[in-house]
Amino acid sequence: MLRGWPVSEMAAHSAHPPGFAHQFETVEQQREAGTLGMWVFLVTEILFFGGMFTSYIIYRSLHLQSFIQGSHELIVRFGATNTAVLIFSSLTMALAIRSAQTGKSKGQIIFWLILTMILGATFIGIKLRFEWYRDYVEGLIPGVSWLDGGTHTPGVKMFMCFYFFMTGLHALHMVVGLGILTVLVIMTARNKFSSQYYSPLEISGLYWHFVDIVWIFLFPLLYLIGGRYPGS
Amino acid sequence: MSTATADLHDAPAEPGVNYLNASYGIRSWLLTFDHKRIGLLYLASITVMFLVGGIAAVLMRIHLVEPQGALFEPETYNKMFSTHGIIMVFFFLVPSIPATLGNFLIPLMIGARDVAFPKLNLMSWYIFITGAALALFATLSGGVDTGWTFYPPYSSHYSATNVTIVALGVFIAGFSSILTGLNFIVTIHKMRAPGMTWFRLPLFIWAMYATSLIFVLGTPVIAITLFLLGLERTLHVGIFDPAVGGDPLLFQHLFWFYSHPAVYIMILPGMGVVSELITAFSRKKIFGYSFVAFSSLSIAVISFIVWGHHMFVTGQSIYAGLVFSVLSFLVAIPSAVKVFNWTATLYRGSISYEAPMLYALGFIGLFTIGGLTGLFLASLATDVHLNGTYFIVAHFHYIMVGGAVMAYLGGIHYWWPKISGRMYPDLWARISAAIIFLGFNLTFFPQFMLGYLGMPRRYAVYPAEFQVLNVLSSAGASILGIGYVIPLIYLTWSMRYGPVAGPNPWKATGLEWTIPSPPPTENFAEIPVVTEDAYNYPVAEAHKYPDAPGVARV
């Protein structure tokens, strides 16, 4: 995904360490460029999600009662479980980077990476099986499966729109993250990383944590705030 | 790649291996990671888009020769101006200077072997091509009639045209902008040669840096906005439909949050180019380097807080209108700083009038008119009168065509010897610069008058009393069109037949002029060490005018 990932053929011809790209003068310069590149990318992502969060907050203030009602259609225990799953996956991602940094065996790095992937897949699985599928059955997906009447008012439809846009976009980022993790596992298995060179792990970690943080904002915005817990 | 790349392989301009003759064949271009070749790929692709958008403009102007319209049904006319706007804004002006000259020059100017992420750079070109292909396909298979702004409900409920495909094309092309901006920011931060401090950078780099900030911060917002519009159209969920609680004004807010800064995406790189041209052809240090550098950054920052001036008459609160009006006036300050500093740089310089300089001087005049008429539109009361008229059309064309396109052409001419290794015929270049200047003013100055008299934009017909000014405008457009075709011909010709340029035909400063033309693939045999400021033109010349501002004193 990002330049700075190993170009193994080049390393064979020179004294440069593995993964060193020709346009850089030093390994340090390459590492800094990769990290800065990912941070700039994450800033872009913040603005990307930001447009959606802003729209959500504006419509929430315009249609407060409907959004509270819509929020009650969501099941907090699944959202909460997924929050825990994601936070734990950030820990395992950090441990994978730590293992590479401290020169642990590649088996250990792969263990943490795969555990991260399992947790990411668990998140998506819970979302699909227990939340989106149920919404589909109950006719809560605007434009796809929507039953008018009852609690399914137009305002609730608007809320559900945003719910699916926001969680869908987030889930898309999770899937991309799983793809990146797969590449990282393969690269680790091929001995690309060492305690001197592990910046792809570090940069991908930044991305993974970012996707987690987006969820940390989504969960209260969609599931928790607004009348579900009176008196709080 | 119709124009720029076809004949470049033949007869190297200078003996030795350069980026053009290092490898041959279509694959070596389509799979290249070389920033210089990628710049040329962009040059060829946006030239095609410029021709498409230009043809639409010419057809519109022919149509408007008659008050009742000479060519089209009103629906077709709507599609013409929509195509013209969408293609020109998203597929020509936004990528124009950054993706071509920026890609080509940034590593050369800062003393690097390439941009920080060459693969990402090539990927962004493919993304751009995908978006452009979708937009062209949508245009040819029925067109789109929303205008370039895609306002709902024109774009949601009341349009049966190819809105979704075009919006998808713009959405995709946006990621190309984001990746280019990301690449430039990292390159400028991390790839500068030893000694190339921030305040020794050419001002073109500062302008590209400011532009990249807008790419990275603004483009994702238009992406998500068009995404929401696409969902609205395909799923009919009512995000922008007031009937079910949506708000069409939200679209306008989100749209202009990107699209106003996008205006500065178009003009900032042009300002950077002009800073290079003015110094090179008056052989003087820029007057007030740091003011010019920081004015680029402040334009980028202010650009994000003025979007409401596009919505004075759309029902936003009057207090918001007041605030946006004041903030919009602020843009005039850094813009004026630039104009004054360029003028002060000219003062007692040894000025010569080669073709790039003609474009640069044209830019200063036309940009000033465009900028000052912008103040009319930033004032609430006059805007109510002028909004939605040809005054707006004239104003932003003075900025985008008189400003951005003039600077783009000036930059292409200035760096053409570096890009191709060949000189173009100077007389023809000067003639075409003059034709473009005259044709441009004849096209758009009457539109200021039309707008002030109340002729609304986007209409296929108009009252008969406006005919004289409309005919003048259409006549100017045909002259302008000829002015654009001439450089296309002689630049293509010069790639094979032009005289060899040598490394530094303008005797200009800057790292890009210290290496052969065309540059070798790795740019620099040894990474240079920079020991002096930008625009350090020989003091001997300046000593003729010891009291001139900006002259280096030793």
Do B235 and A43 make contact, defined as CB atoms within 8 angstroms? no
Q: Once rounded to an integer, what is the mean pLDDT over residues B505-521? A: 94
Rounded Cα–Cα distance for residues B504 and A161 (Å): 59
Q: CA nearest B148: which of B363, B463, B396?
A: B396
Q: Which residues contact B481 (CB under 8 A, 6 or more apart)?
A: B54, B58, B439
Which of A3, A24, A51 minimises the CB distance to B119? A3
- Chain B residues inside the 8 Å CB shell of A27: none
Does B318 contact A at CB distance below 8 Å?
Answer: no
User: Which residue out of A66, A161, A162, A176 would a mutagenesis test of the B interface target, given it has the greatest number of B Cβ atoms within 10 Å?
Assistant: A161
How close is the nearest chain B Cα to the Cα of A35, in Å?
A: 9
The answer to whether A52 and A62 have CB atoms below 8 angstroms apart is: no
Q: CA nearest B186: which of A130, A39, A174?
A: A39
Do A55 and B116 make contact, defined as CB atoms within 8 angstroms? no
| Token digits of residue B331 | 């843009």
Q: How many CB pairs under 8 A join A and B?
A: 118
Do B118 and A3 make contact, defined as CB atoms within 8 angstroms? yes
User: Would you state the pLDDT for residue B4?
Assistant: 42
Rounded Cα–Cα distance for residues A114 and A111 (Å): 5
Do B182 and A37 make contact, defined as CB atoms within 8 angstroms? yes
How close is the nearest chain A Cα to the Cα of B511, in Å?
A: 17
In terms of average pLDDT, the best of A6-15, B140-149, B392-401 is B392-401
Q: Once rounded to an integer, what is the mean pLDDT over residues B299-321? A: 93
pLDDT band at B122 (very low <50, low <70, confident <90, very high): very high
The answer to whether B211 and B299 have CB atoms below 8 angstroms apart is: no
Residue whose tokens read 């020991």: B531
Q: CA nearest B306: which of B287, B331, B275?
A: B331
Rounded Cα–Cα distance for residues A215 and B20 (Å): 48
Amino acid in position B422: R
Q: Once rounded to an integer, what is the mean pLDDT over residues A200-222? A: 96
A30-to-A19, A70, A200 alpha-carbon distances in Å:
10, 48, 11
Does B254 contact A at CB distance below 8 Å?
Answer: yes
b/e map A1-16, b = 16+ CB within 10 Å: bbbbbbbeeebeeeeb
Do B237 and A4 make contact, defined as CB atoms within 8 angstroms? no
Q: Give pLDDT tens digits for A65-97.
A: 999 999 998 999 999 999 999 999 999 999 999
Nearest-by-CA chain A residue for B218: A47
Rounded Cα–Cα distance for residues B520 and B510 (Å): 17
- Hey, where are the domains in chain B? 34-542
User: Would you state the pLDDT for residue B390?
Assistant: 97
Rounded Cα–Cα distance for residues B161 and B349 (Å): 55
Do B224 and A51 make contact, defined as CB atoms within 8 angstroms? yes
| Token digits of residue A114 | 């795969």
Q: Give pLDDT tens digits for A10-35.
A: 444 445 667 788 899 998 999 999 99
Rounded Cα–Cα distance for residues A173 and A179 (Å): 10
User: Would you state the pLDDT for residue B311?
Assistant: 94
Which of A25, A36, A161 minimises the CB distance to B237? A161
How high is the mean pLDDT of chain B?
92
pLDDT band at B545 (very low <50, low <70, confident <90, very high): low
Rounded Cα–Cα distance for residues A165 and A170 (Å): 8
End-to-end distance of chain B based on CA atoms, in angstroms?
49
User: Would you state the pLDDT for residue B540?
Assistant: 52
Q: CA nearest B406: which of B356, B353, B444?
A: B356
Rounded Cα–Cα distance for residues B353 and B303 (Å): 33
| Token digits of residue B378 | 């930033």
Whether the per-residue pLDDT at B411 is higher than 80: the answer is yes
Rounded Cα–Cα distance for residues B521 and B22 (Å): 7
pLDDT band at B544 (very low <50, low <70, confident <90, very high): low
pLDDT band at A154 (very low <50, low <70, confident <90, very high): confident
| Token digits of residue B402 | 């008189």
Do A161 and B189 make contact, defined as CB atoms within 8 angstroms? no
The answer to whether B121 and B33 have CB atoms below 8 angstroms apart is: yes
Which residues does residue A46 pair with via DSSP β-bridges, in sequence order?
none
The answer to whether B280 and B359 have CB atoms below 8 angstroms apart is: no
Do B245 and A154 make contact, defined as CB atoms within 8 angstroms? yes
CATH of domain A47-224: 1.20.120.80
Whether the per-residue pLDDT at B374 is higher than 50: the answer is yes
Check residues B460 and A145 and name the one with the higher pLDDT: B460
The answer to whether B471 and B421 have CB atoms below 8 angstroms apart is: no
Considering chain B, what percentage of its residues have pLDDT values greater than 90? 87
Do A40 and B120 make contact, defined as CB atoms within 8 angstroms? no
The pTM of the full predicted model, rounded to 2 decimals, is: 0.92
B11-to-A8, B20, B21, B41 alpha-carbon distances in Å:
35, 10, 9, 20
ipTM confidence: 0.90
Whether the per-residue pLDDT at A7 is higher than 90: the answer is no
Residue whose tokens read 């987030």: A170
Rounded Cα–Cα distance for residues B185 and B195 (Å): 19
Rounded Cα–Cα distance for residues B385 and B389 (Å): 8
Rounded Cα–Cα distance for residues B371 and B357 (Å): 21
Q: Which residues contact B372 (CB under 8 A, 6 or more apart)?
A: none
Whether the per-residue pLDDT at B407 is higher than 70: the answer is yes
Do B182 and A32 make contact, defined as CB atoms within 8 angstroms? no
User: Would you state the pLDDT for residue B541?
Assistant: 54
Rounded Cα–Cα distance for residues B528 and B538 (Å): 20
Whether the per-residue pLDDT at B245 is higher than 90: the answer is no
Amino acid in position B521: T
Does B190 contact A at CB distance below 8 Å?
Answer: yes
| Token digits of residue B449 | 């008058």
Count CB neighbours of A182 within 10 A.
Answer: 13
Q: Give pLDDT tens digits for B5-56.
A: 434 444 444 568 899 999 999 999 999 999 999 999 999 999 999 999 999 9
| Token digits of residue A124 | 């998506």
Rounded Cα–Cα distance for residues B65 and B472 (Å): 9
Three-class DSSP category at B278: helix
The answer to whether B346 and B278 have CB atoms below 8 angstroms apart is: yes
Strands A145-146 and A140-141: antiparallel
Which of A37, A45, A55 minimises the CB distance to B116? A37
CATH fold group of domain B34-542: Cytochrome C Oxidase; Chain A (1.20.210)
- Hey, where are the domains in chain A? 47-224
Does A29 contact B at CB distance below 8 Å?
Answer: yes
Whether the per-residue pLDDT at B532 is higher than 50: the answer is yes
Q: Once rounded to an integer, what is the mean pLDDT over residues B63-81? A: 95
The answer to whether B501 and B422 have CB atoms below 8 angstroms apart is: yes
pLDDT band at A5 (very low <50, low <70, confident <90, very high): very low
Does B217 contact A at CB distance below 8 Å?
Answer: yes
Does A33 contact B at CB distance below 8 Å?
Answer: yes
Q: Give pLDDT tens digits for B171-180.
A: 999 999 999 9
Nearest-by-CA chain A residue for B183: A37
Which of B219, B221, B235 minimises the CB distance to A143? B235
Rounded Cα–Cα distance for residues B1 and B100 (Å): 13
User: Would you state the pLDDT for residue A16?
Assistant: 64
Three-class DSSP category at A52: helix
Angle between helices A64-71 and A154-189 (to 10 degrees): 50
